[in-house]
Amino acid sequence: MPQIAQLAEFYSSQIFWLLVFFGITFFLIGRGMVPKVMGTVELRDKQIADDLAAAQGARDAADEQEEAWRVRENENRAAAQAKIAEAKAEAAAKTEAKLARAQKRLDAKLEKAEAEIEAARESAMTEIEDVAAEATQEIVARLAGGKVDKRTARSAVKKALTNA
Amino acid sequence: MAAEQGKVDPMKQFQIEPLFGSANWELAGFNIAFTNSALWMAITVILLWTFVAGGMKRELVPGRWQMAVESFTGFIDDMLEANVGKEGRKYVSYIFSLFMFILFANLLGLLPIGVLGLHPFTFTSHFTVTGVLAVISFSIVLVVGFWKHGIKFFTLFVPHGTPAAMVLPIALIEFFSFMIRPFSLALRLFVAMMAGHVLLKVLSSFVIDGLNAGVGTSLMVAIPSFALMIAISALEILVAGIQAYVFALLTSLYINDAEHLH
């Protein structure tokens, strides 16, 4: 076993060169280079974390804006609805007023027509009375030979007409 | 026929040889020959540096290479986070170095560059090497423990709720299990790496000897052995990763003890 057989001869060389080369490994690579490699990793992790945070922030901002937009939209819709209701009410009021005016006109016309009819009826009635009175005078004169004056005949006719 | 009977010595792969005539290099009276072991350490460091340097482009959207390096640092980071917590962060440099150094060493030792006439050397199959790594890890545990908790670090040996009468024996057992940690750490890696390599070499000698002995043994021994070698090579790649992971994981668990006591 050379490890033991050559121990006395080479132990100092083995230890010396191991210390030299492991020392180089530790100080040059372990202390010099490894921290830089790990620094790069850390930097990248930080960058990723920052990017993620920024993305999250942007998303939150977008959500906020959407919410604001929604609120605004709802307000607008409500305002529009109110305007429509107002317009409807106004239109209804106008229509009502127009209808009322038309009704009034119609009523007036109706009244006037009724009055005219009444007047016509009245004049027709007096005419009938006149004719009836004359006829009565005539009938009385012819049948009884008497003479009935106009007033008496008229009152008689009136009586008969109202009784009829 | 005798010349073809290449004897496979399963231990030769662990032989340390000085290179470039450096056998007599000395530092303060100690031999510091630049051996094949040191050469493979150097190769490990160069490849590891290349690997990590390729992941330093610092791009926001990583390429494959950068992704690979980042997944390794992330893996060590997660392991320390899970085992030590927030304080584990400052050990990433050390645990990463440890894990990658052992992982690359283990994997490089498995490279089939023998077919090119080169000899791969797995320096993690030497307990001088794994021992030093274990001692470094253990020292960190001791330093951190006494630095953070001072003398209270010794309460590590008395778990919560120990009856008064049991304090002494339990503390003794805990102390021993604590002191054994560097040895188990070092031996586990060394034994696992050595055993796998020895097994592969023994099987390869079965293949060679079986083929040389004729058609019958070729079919009965050489071919099954070769199939087994392929399967065990795959297993060894797994073991290379697992042992590096276990070393790093246990070190982080021990550091957790030092950071938080129990």
Quick: pLDDT tens for B70-98. 888 889 888 888 888 888 888 888 999 99
Q: Is residue B232 less than 8 Å (CB to CB) from chain A? A: no
Q: Give chain A's radius of gyration (CA, Å).
A: 63
Q: Would you place residue A30 in the very low, low, confident or very high pLDDT band (cuts 50, 70, 90)? A: confident
- Hey, are the CB atoms on A26 and B74 less than 8 Å from each other? no
Q: Is the pLDDT reported for residue A34 higher than 80?
A: yes
In terms of DSSP bridges, do strands B26-27 and B30-31 run parallel, antiparallel, or are they unpaired? antiparallel
Q: Cβ neighbours of residue B97 under 8 Å, at least 6 residues apart? A: A22, A25, A26, A29, A30, A34
- The DSSP line for A125-151 is HHHHHHHHHHHHHHHHHHHT-----HH
| From A24-28, A125-129, B67-71, B113-117, the region with the lowest mean pLDDT | B113-117
Q: Is residue B193 less than 8 Å (CB to CB) from chain A? A: no
Contacts of A31 in chain B (CB under 8 A): 93
Contacts of A39 in chain B (CB under 8 A): 58
Q: Would you place residue B4 in the very low, low, confident or very high pLDDT band (cuts 50, 70, 90)? A: very low
Do the Cβ atoms of A31 and B54 come closer than 8 Å?
Answer: no
Contacts of B48 in chain A (CB under 8 A): 25, 29
Q: Is residue B23 less than 8 Å (CB to CB) from chain A? A: no
Contacts of B52 in chain A (CB under 8 A): 29, 33-34, 37
| Residue A147, CA distances (Å) to A129, A130, B107 in order | 18, 17, 168
Q: How crowded is residue B137: how many other Cβ atoms within 10 Å of its Cβ?
A: 24
% residues pLDDT > 70 (chain A): 99
Considering only CB atoms, B48 lies closest to which of A6, A25, A38, namely: A25
CA–CA separation, B102 and B75 (whole Å): 15
If phi > 0 it is left, if psi is from -120 to 50 it is alpha, else beta; for residue B52 that is alpha
Please tell me the number of Cα atoms within 13 Å of B206 on its side-chain side.
Answer: 17
Q: Is the pLDDT reported for residue A97 higher than 70?
A: yes
Q: Would you place residue B2 in the very low, low, confident or very high pLDDT band (cuts 50, 70, 90)? A: very low
Q: Is the pLDDT reported for residue A74 higher than 90?
A: yes
Q: Would you place residue B7 in the very low, low, confident or very high pLDDT band (cuts 50, 70, 90)? A: low
Q: What is the pLDDT of residue B1?
A: 37
Q: Is B158 helix (H, G, I), strand (E, B) or coil?
A: coil
Please give the mean pLDDT across all residues of chain A.
89
Q: Is residue B177 less than 8 Å (CB to CB) from chain A? A: no
Tokens representing residue B88 in the block: 């584990």
Report the chain B residue with the minimal C-alpha distance to residue A35. B93
**Average pLDDT for residues B96-110, to the nearest whole number?**
90
Q: Cβ neighbours of residue B31 under 8 Å, at least 6 residues apart? A: A9, A10, A12, A13, B23, B24, B25
Q: Is the pLDDT reported for residue B206 higher than 60?
A: yes
CA–CA separation, B205 and B201 (whole Å): 6
Q: Is the pLDDT reported for residue B172 higher than 70?
A: yes
Q: Cβ neighbours of residue B219 under 8 Å, at least 6 residues apart? A: none
**Average pLDDT for residues B16-44, to the nearest whole number?**
81
Q: Would you place residue B262 in the very low, low, confident or very high pLDDT band (cuts 50, 70, 90)? A: low
Contacts made by residues B16-22, CB under 8 angstroms, sequence distance 24+: B16/A2, B16/A6, B16/A9, B16/A10, B16/A13, B16/A14, B16/B126, B18/A13
% residues pLDDT > 90 (chain A): 48
| From A84-93, B4-13, B125-134, the region with the lowest mean pLDDT | B4-13
Q: Would you place residue B6 in the very low, low, confident or very high pLDDT band (cuts 50, 70, 90)? A: low
pLDDT digits (tens, 9 = 90+) for B184-199: 999 999 999 889 988 9
Q: What is the DSSP letter of A80?
A: H
Tokens representing residue B33 in the block: 């020959």
Backbone angles phi, psi at B29, to 5 degrees: 85, -10
- Hey, are the CB atoms on A14 and B58 less than 8 Å from each other? no
Please give the mean pLDDT across all residues of chain B.
85
**Average pLDDT for residues A114-123, to the nearest whole number?**
93
- Tracing tokens 């001072």 back to the chain, one arrives at B150
- Hey, are the CB atoms on B127 and A3 less than 8 Å from each other? yes
Q: Is the pLDDT reported for residue B105 higher than 50?
A: yes
Q: Identify the CA nearest to B53 among candidates A55, A33, A88, A108.
A: A33
Which one has a higher pLDDT value, B215 or A107? A107
Which one has a higher pLDDT value, B27 or B173? B173
Segments making up each domain of chain B, as ranges: 12-260
CA–CA separation, A79 and A143 (whole Å): 92
Best residue in A9, A16, A28, A50 to probe B by mutation, most B CBs within 10 Å? Answer: A16
